[in-house]
Structure 1
Amino acid sequence: MQTWLYLHFPSLQLDTIFTEDERPLVLVKGRDHHIVQASSAAIEEGIQLGMGLGAAASLCSQLQVQPYEPKQEAAMLEHLAQWLYLVTSDIVLFPPQGLLLKVTDMLTLYSGLENYWKAVQQHLANYPTHHPLRYGYATGFSPLSAMLLAKQAENMLTLDGEKLRARILTYPLSATELSLQHQEKLSRVGIRLVSDLIALPMQEIARRFDIDLVNYVGRLLGQFHHPLPFYHPKEQFHGHLELLYEITNIQWLEKPLTQLLQQLEMFLRLRNQVAYELALTLIQRDKKHETLTFTSAQGDYHTDRWLTLCRLTMESIKLEHPVMALTLKVVRSAIASCEARDLFQGNKGRQSPLELIGLLQAKLGTEHVFRPARSDDPRPEKATSYVDPIVTPPATHRQAQLRPTWLYPTPEALIEQVTLIHGPERIATGWWDGEAIIRDYFIAQSAQGRWLWVFRTPEQQWFIHGLFS
């Protein structure tokens, strides 16, 4: 017998909205604005599901109201499936509020149903959301039987098929997935409970009703094959988070952004990847959008490290419009490379060059961070260039030469008395690009003891070009 576990999240959108406000909150739907989801604080005020907004507002003057968005809830359900994929394999999405898990193949791995459920339950408790997830659950001998029990919040875990069957028979047809049309037809002939429907022979159901009802009964009892589209994690991360209130200060985005970065860490860990560039889209009032880019030179997946880079980047940004939602996606990613670390001592506070580059780019901007590199041009002004800090510069063929530590941007006229110590070294080059030079360089010492790098032109003019000390 196959065993299934169904998880029903009756308030998924409400539980995943980011808010630090503990006032009662409800989600409304339809033209009459009836309540479909309510927070614990709202329920304590006497507000019930199905109640009209007017009646709810009369019970609670501090009530906060948001519209119900099925698409948004379905997207959060997919994030949950991605999260659970770390502990269980076969998952089926039933949007917008249900997840079906195939238990049979996991019992050997977890040594029984109890251990498997503990792993799933603990993993759900660690899901990165501001409020705990509320859900009902139940096992079943078929997907539809598990769904029926879970939606009624049975919270029933057993492998006993007879016990599950006996519990299913007690429910009215309104608790099943049958359409209202089927329920009305069955009610006319006195069939109101699942037990009444199951008591009918299958041939009688097929003769008096349509094939859809036959298929439902057969799949509910596990007699018919139930084709299911199993979930496969997406290859690209795309996280979205709705905010309960508008944010006008860029620094206040840190907490909701942390929640998205935690989801990103899980996504990358699952695939053994690191991200090099992230794009955060700020969805603002009046449908305005602003996109911020965060980069990591060495690539990373840790929430804390990405949060540091994001914080440094956002320091210099000022919001023009209030932010209502956040969308985070990965622009560039790759397979994580192996790092050699001490097994027992680990890192000791050392910072790699790429980590430093990443912090500097986040603070100053990628267009302001470069790496100095040597070139084969003999002209002192062109001997050093500035390149991308991440790209390793090509090796040069120049031999080591006596050169000053400090080089003037432009040579200055030599106006003091000096003593020539070493030289001359003639540099005559640059004829190919119109910047030809002919100079005789000397190492000299001034009367104050400074070591200078000076040169003489063919016109017998003397200049100082650098300082050795």
Structure 2
Amino acid sequence: MLTGVLSRLSLQRLNWPQRVVKALDEMGLRRLGDCLRLPREGFARRLGVERLAELDRALGRLPEARTAWVPASRFSLSVDLHSEYLDRERLMRAIRPLFEQLQRYLVVRQSGVQLVELKLHHLRAPASPVVLRLLSPAYQAEHFHALLGGHMERIELPEPVVALTLRAGRLQPLTAVSGDLLASRQRMGGGGLSAGRLVECLRARLGRRAVYGVGLQPDYRPDRAWRRVEPVASHESGHFVQLNRPLWLLKSPTPLRQQQGWPWQEGRLRIEAGPERIESGWWDGADISRDYYLARNAYQQWLWIYRERQGARRWYLHGLFA
């Protein structure tokens, strides 16, 4: 049955060198069945023993060793608590040994993780999940424990905790990075956190939606030139046009007073640069047509203002520079 099916297979389908297929074609052999009808000794002498072995493995005459799939190593640990825990401080102390075991597991493998999942099991209510997301691979139990403390401030436990389950995400190799000597001294003296660790702590305490990164969008409209992204541990310089944009862009433009056609805010604003004309968005119904200016008020604050090019041609404040 198998031999009959494979005999109709073209030799072009085989992963054989083209010179071998061409030599067989010149001998009038174009299908697998043509090769199977040849004397085995002559076939091996002309084309090699390995080609004959390939045919035998395809027909099941020789065993074909396959590399077994080995699932990626993952850390998972479950423990039953000796008593019911509802007090957060006692619960945090009970969880610490799990993080210490995770650290030992990661140190031996010279790996880190960016995802740690903890389930707080209750007697009757569904388990309360806590997910720790990190910007870069980490292995330190102290760091995991500190992030968990931020999450625990926001969690409402429906019942006392009777068991714990800790699972880690995919293992990632740890890369050693040489730090700056002076920066290291400053951190040690001031007790500060790195930018990545600070973001992780803020997200644990305030929630993922409260702390996010900012990415560029290919759009000239200031309100749509950026998007929310997941924070990353390091930033690579992108290729973008350097424009004079304010650090603080207002959520919605604020109308300015106007006298004799000039914008006012505690007095007449002084135009320092501009206009920069932005006309875009006609294709999605949110089109704008504005002339933007760099202005300064009586308190020497630098403002980003614009004037409508259509309709009432009013002036608006859209952003403030540092």
Same fold per superposition (TM over 0.5): yes
Please name the residue that 1:331 is paired with.
169
Q: CA deviation at 1:462?
A: 2.1
Alignment of 1:48-87 (within 5 A): none
Quote the offset at 1:428 in angstroms: 1.3
Any idea what SS the aligned residue of 2:193 has?
coil
Q: Deviations over 1:389-438 (max 9, x none)?
A: 12877865442222333322222222023333322221111222221111
CA drift of 1:287 comes to 7.3
How do residues 139-158 of structure 1 correspond to structure 2 at under 5 angstroms? none
1:253 counterpart residue number: 91
Distance 1:277 1:430, change over 3 A: same
Is 1:238–2:238 an aligned residue pair? no
> Is the CA contact (8 Å cut-off) linking 1:455 and 1:462 kept in structure 2?
yes
Measured after TM superposition, the shift of residue 367 of structure 1 is 3.1
Deviation at 1:249, TM superposition (A): 2.1
The alignment status of 1:402 with 2:244, answered yes or no, reads yes
1:378 aligns with 2:220: yes
Q: Give runs of aligned pairs for residues 110-125 of structure 1, distance below 5 A.
A: none
Residue 426 (1) aligns with residue 273 (2): no
Cα distance, 1:286–1:386 mapped onto 2, change above 3 Å: closer
Q: Offset of 1:250 from its aligned partner?
A: 3.0
> Aligned letter for 1:290?
S
Q: Is the 8 A contact 2:74 2:171 kept in 1?
A: no
1:289 aligns with 2:140: no
Pair 1:452-2:265 in alignment: no
- Tell me which residue corresponds to 2:110: 272
Equivalent residues of 2:135, 2:233 under 8 A apart = no
Which of 310, 317, 322 is the matching residue for 1:464? 317
| SS of 1:403 mapped into structure 2 | coil
Q: Is the 8 A contact 2:120 2:165 kept in 1?
A: yes
1:313 — aligned with what? 151
Partner of 2:255: 413
Structure 2 unaligned blocks of 5 or more: 1-71, 258-263
Contact 1:455 1:463 in 2 (8 A): yes
Gaps of 5+ in 1: 1-233
Percent identity, aligned pairs only, is 31
Match in the other structure for 1:100: none
Give the C-alpha shift of residue 342 in structure 1.
7.5
- For 1:467 and 1:286, how far apart are their aligned partners in 2? 54
Conservation of the 8 A alpha-carbon contact between 2:220 and 2:280: yes
Contact 1:454 1:462 in 2 (8 A): yes
Going from structure 1 to structure 2, the CA distance change for 1:468 and 1:353 (only over 3 Å counts) comes to closer
Structure 2 matches for 1:190-201, cutoff 5 A?
A: none
Q: What displacement does 1:264 show? A: 1.0
- Equivalent pair of 1:375/1:385 in contact (CA under 8 Å): yes
Letter in 2 for 1:291: P
Which amino acid in 2 is paired with 1:419?
A: R
Give the secondary-structure state (helix, strand or coil) at the position aligned to 1:356: helix
Distance 1:427 1:265, change over 3 A: same
Q: Report what 2:40 is aligned to.
A: none
Which residue identity does 1:425 align to in structure 2?
Answer: E
